Amino acid sequence: MPKRKRKHAASWDRSGMMNHARIYAVPQEAGSLDMTGLAKLEQAFRSWATASSRADARASRKRILLIFLLIRYTGARLNEVLALNLTKDFDGPRQIVRFGTAGEMDDSSGREVQISSELVSEIREALEEPAFGEEIGPLLRVDAGHVRRKFYERAVECGFSQAQGSPNAIRRARAIELMQSNVPLPVVQRILGQSTPNLTASFVAFSAEDIRQVEKHFVEKERHRKTSARNTFFGKIGAIRKGDIQSRVELVTVGGDVLSTVITNNSLKHMGLKLGSLVTAEVKAPWVILQKGQTAPLSTAENLFQGSVHQIVRGKLTTEVIVRIKDGTEVCSLVTEESRRKLDLKEADEVWVIFNSFAVILHVD
């Protein structure tokens, strides 16, 4: 029997560069559901949960729906969700769910995961429903085999394979979704409770509260479903060099890269920026220049990041090139198709992502 091909999400090669075998493996023939597929599956669960005329059956189905939503939006393991006590492990005001025992966030047996305000409301409503409470009390304990069967049924109902609808597959799909949204790899690992042996010194400098803010930023961005051509970096201000009119601000990303921007002193004061502040940096795709090769090019641009071409979307006049830099962040560059041909850019080519300080826009939440 031929060996099954497996596609990987990301790992580190010997040089320290990301090769994107990442933190899980998915059978090629099974595939993972994308955002559209996950939305379709979620709607199938919601329709099924309310379809019964019996209150006790609806309560039982609502429990399965909550289990799905918690795996779908936290990336937790099925056994972790089934062990939850929602009266103790759910913190509505802070919008978090605690998995495992209380402990440090880098301990896979105990971690906090940020959730959206919508999911907070659904959990609260479920806990307040008399029939739901009478059925299960504060716990989500239910036979794991029963849960898997219901997941399989909903997946097949949507036209997917059983494998695509399994709890583990939904967990993997969530990981892919987070990384495609440019959530830094170490943060994804923390959310999923994966071990993180390759943390950079920069990441270790981020406190548990800092990481929670990173999670919150992406959860809120996901909730609003805002789309933008701009590339997003998230990190902490490591240095500020103030001039007479403008200031140079250096942002240390979660992946350990240093990103430089220049803003006016008025903006620096208005935004309340200081050393250690958590900020979001955005760069529009047309402002990102690509240089092919392994050696860092000589350039007046302050921001240079090494990566490899992940995807190329060609057009008649312009072409979109997606580059993955070493921490797994995807950076989009919009170039002319003629320029791409001159550089002979192909997928997997090693390139340098280049943009100057004036191309960077800072935001604070």
Identify the band that residue 166 occupies on the pLDDT scale cut at 50, 70 and 90. very high
Both tokens of 349, joined, read: 């080519």
* Among the listed residues 213, 229, 218, 122, the one whose alpha carbon sits nearest the alpha carbon of residue 174: 218
Phi, psi dihedrals of residue 110, rounded to the nearest 5° = -155, 115
More confident position, 87 or 333:
333
Residue 8 has pLDDT above 90, yes or no: no
Identify the band that residue 157 occupies on the pLDDT scale cut at 50, 70 and 90. very high
Average pLDDT over residues 103-110: 47
Say what the pLDDT of residue 338 is.
94
Report if pTM > 0.85.
Answer: no
Average pLDDT over residues 215-239: 68
Distant-in-sequence, close-in-space partners of 193: CB < 8 Å, separation ≥ 6? 76, 77, 80, 99, 100, 108, 111
Domains of the chain: 6-201 (1.10.443.10), 284-355 (2.40.50.100)
Q: Is 257 exposed, middle or buried (0-12, 13-18, 19+ CB in 10 A)?
A: buried
